[in-house]
Amino acid sequence: MTKPATLIFDLDGTLIDSAPDIHAASNAVLAEHGFAPLTLPQVRSFIGQGVPHLVHCLLAASEADPRGALHEKMVADFTARYETAVGLTALYPGARAALEALRAKGHALGLCTNKPLAPTMAVLAHFGLTDLFGTVIGGDSLPVRKPDPQPLLKALWALGDGRALYIGDSEVDAQTAQAAGLPFLLFTEGYRKTPVADLPHSIAFSDYAMLEGIVAHLPWVSEE
């Protein structure tokens, strides 16, 4: 029989392409504070390490002090906009079907993201995905964020015993999996800046139609 596995996913750049919403919210906040807009590729390159890091990068790119008093104000302003920013976000093709198929096979699904919890839950509700996940850890659920392994380990603990892996798209995700001692599946169509060959991973995939088969053929999941 197929053994159930624990599968923990990143969110932005892994299950959803949220860069257009993040870009729009970023430029709205920049405009409020008198800065010029930034391009989508610029803002996309800032995604992955949480809102404080994103705002730090926005200020640095705008030639403002990223460590000054404005940083805290812009974090608050961005977060207020970001909590309901779902209109420009899209699921990656096949992601929903893959999640539903894996859940139907008995695999435990979790989410571990640096996106704050409120916008995470908002986008999951928007796409009707909330009930698929046994636990959701956001970027503000703990005092630390990825690549610190604690958020991923907390998700693992919440889902119970069993062999687990982490599925993500970025350098931060690869570092987090490595720090937590979990195998890493790399979704290659997200926001990474490093060549696939240079990121530590167990398996890379570019299409969610591949994921169920990959999981089924893992040595500790395969049918005996």
Rounded to whole angstroms, the Cα distance separating 224 from 213 reads 15
CA angle 85, 22, 34 (to 5 degrees): 105
Q: Residue 55: which of 34, 37, 79 has the closest Cα? A: 79
DSSP code of 39?
A: -
Going 18 to 24 to 27 to 32, the CA torsion angle's sign is: negative
Give CA–CA dist 191/16, Å, rounded.
11
Which listed residue (10, 12, 21, 169) is catalytic?
10
Active-site annotation holds for 10: yes
Q: Which residues are the active-site residues?
A: 10
